Structure 1
Amino acid sequence: MSHAFWWKLLIGIITLAGALTANATNTPTAPTHNQTVLPTDKSPQQVIIKIPQQEFSSSGHTNYVITLLRLALARSKSPNEEIVLQSIPETFTQARLIAELQRGLSVDVIWTMTSKEREDAMQPIRVPLLKGLLGKRVFLIRAGQQDVFSRITSLQQLAQLTAGQGAHWPDTDILRANGLRVHTSIQYELLFSMLRGGRFDYFPRGVNEAWIELEAHKDEGLAVEETLMLSYPAPMYFFVQHGNAALAQRLEQGLELMIQDGSFDALFESHPSLMHFLKRANMKNRRVFKLANPGLPEETPLQEARYWLGD
């Protein structure tokens, strides 16, 4: 055979080999058991934030806070991130949630009323989620007991009755520091049956909580008291584990951006679990007893009017 024939055959073999090599390079292979597949630049990076389960009774309140959390995280995320909120499977008491957050194991962020002890235990993001609404307290009482409360005109008279509260809630210390008697329970849901059974006389609840909880316990013979209200500074914050600066910064940045562009107030004023019940509380026609909150940390931004509900 001629020299030209062999030369053409050699070129053909080289070309075929190059094509096979290119296909092998461009075709992804299945990962082995120990192999990690890294995302491409265009693949979204999933960021999972573990949050608490909540009692059904506070579902309206929880819906607002989770919506706010989602929006704040969306404002502070990078373009290539996907934020996923993942509820933990267990329902914990507040004390257990705080312990879990301190350990940094099952939950990444919680929301609760602040206190000196809680800010020592966890990192607060000092933007009041409810604009102080949680400190406007109306009472759940037994149906048929309204006359008892209608006759009360002073804090000293109210102190003759007994309130019910959670054993680990900051509110318990606030009420006691102001001379009020308090009966406690570790279990939130147990407080409703204890009220019904006469273990205490009234159950102070935030105006954003009382009617939702009444609906959740509509067959237990309870009512919302119509004439009285307690008022004390009680900011609810997002909390993260001490040292989790990245998540704390995300939350603070996102919340501040929402305040600046008006979307924080827009959500607060439109969410059905808040303003509807604020109007229903008829605060201007109630006798209001203002209480001191000795457990309030010095860093509380009380002078920042943009954070708080106006009078």
Structure 2
Amino acid sequence: MPRCLPVLLLCLSLACARADTIIYPRHQAEHDPQLDYVLALLRLALAKSGTPYTLRQSAQVMVQSRVIQEIVDGTGSVNIVWTMTSHAREAELLPIRIPIDRGLIGWRIALLSAKRAQLFQGVHSVRELGQFAAGQMRDWPDTAILQHNGLHVFDGSTTYEGLFKQLAVERIDYFPRSVIEVGSELASHAGLQLALDPYLIIRYPTAFYFFVGKQQTKLARDIEAGLEKALADGSFNALFQRHYGRLADGLNLGRRRVLELDNPLLPKATPLGRKELWYRLPAN
């Protein structure tokens, strides 16, 4: 056997190992409110794809814009992200167009300072909501969506955690969070004396997808195939129900006033016609 052959086989083995490792981003939050569900769904999809993969978290904490750029550049520090879709993101990355959140990322409830828990009692329209300042990160698509609808947005925070602190000191009036995040975020920031607005849902059509690099077509196909199998056999819905099945009652969704917003960032390829993919309030 040529002496170089073992080295070559080792290199090939390491290359294959790297190719089959999915590196997901480390969130700024100390307690990422979506991580348990998203990783469980990703593992479910990968198990049903028929291709073995391993998962590990990135070594560094990254904001969304950094994660996306790392994937675009192919640095290897991270190779998957779950985030809200937009024209820009679908141009840069390869989307798996199955909404892992069933569209609930666009159902928003405001976090408020506990001292101002009744702030939105008299708000019945988007125009009335526009007199208050929402807090958002500059690189989040939500910022452009809110501004497009005439809402006032403060996007000066450089960190996710900073937004909670700005809310507590009333530098911003409210922090709209998705219904799948807001309860756990309120609990994990109990020391800041925040409260849930009890009156409104701010809602716009959008989706949370898994995204990978444009060149990672096999990984995208495997994840999509696994998600489709999980949808077909009911395991996707069962996992969703375990994590979010009590949302409607816990957040009183059926009794809130709904303020509908337009989403100018929503790509035409969004599968709005597949009704089984989207969340609907349980029938009374």
TM-score between the two structures when normalised by the length of structure 2: 0.91
State the Cα deviation string for residues 162-204 of structure 1 (Å, max 9, x = none): 1111111111111111110000123111111111122110000
1:57 positional shift: 5.2
* Map of 2:46 onto structure 1: 73
* Map of 2:249 onto structure 1: 279
Give the residue type in structure 1 aligned to 2:46: L
* Map of 1:117 onto structure 2: 88
* Map of 1:213 onto structure 2: 185
Would you say 1:61 and 2:34 are equivalent positions? Answer: yes
Give the residue type in structure 2 aligned to 1:289: L
d(CA) in 2 for partners of 1:237, 1:155: 27
Give the residue type in structure 2 aligned to 1:101: I
Give the residue type in structure 2 aligned to 1:109: I
* Map of 2:152 onto structure 1: 181
d(CA) in 2 for partners of 1:160, 1:150: 14
Structure 2 stretches lacking a partner, 5+ long: none
Q: 1:183 and 1:74, CA in 2 relative to 1: closer, same or farther beyond 3 A?
A: same
* Map of 2:275 onto structure 1: 305
TM-score between the two structures when normalised by the length of structure 1: 0.83
**Secondary structure, counterpart of 2:171 in structure 1:** coil
Check the 8 A contact 2:98/2:209 in 1, yes or no: yes
Q: 2:117 aligns with which of 146, 150, 157?
A: 146
Give the residue type in structure 1 aligned to 2:249: K
Q: 2:225 aligns with which of 250, 253, 276?
A: 253
Q: 1:100 and 1:286, CA in 2 relative to 1: closer, same or farther beyond 3 A?
A: same
Q: 1:239 aligns with which of 211, 219, 224?
A: 211
Check the 8 A contact 2:86/2:266 in 1, yes or no: yes
* Map of 1:229 onto structure 2: 201
State the Cα deviation string for residues 206-234 of structure 1 (Å, max 9, x = none): 01111111111101111111111101112
**Secondary structure, counterpart of 2:22 in structure 1:** strand
Check the 8 A contact 2:72/2:214 in 1, yes or no: yes
Would you say 1:293 and 2:263 are equivalent positions? Answer: yes
Q: 1:152 and 1:37, CA in 2 relative to 1: closer, same or farther beyond 3 A?
A: closer
d(CA) in 2 for partners of 1:32, 1:254: 36
**Secondary structure, counterpart of 1:128 in structure 2:** coil
Give the residue type in structure 1 aligned to 2:81: I
d(CA) in 2 for partners of 1:57, 1:228: 27
1:241 positional shift: 0.4
Identity %: 39
Give the residue type in structure 1 aligned to 2:27: Q
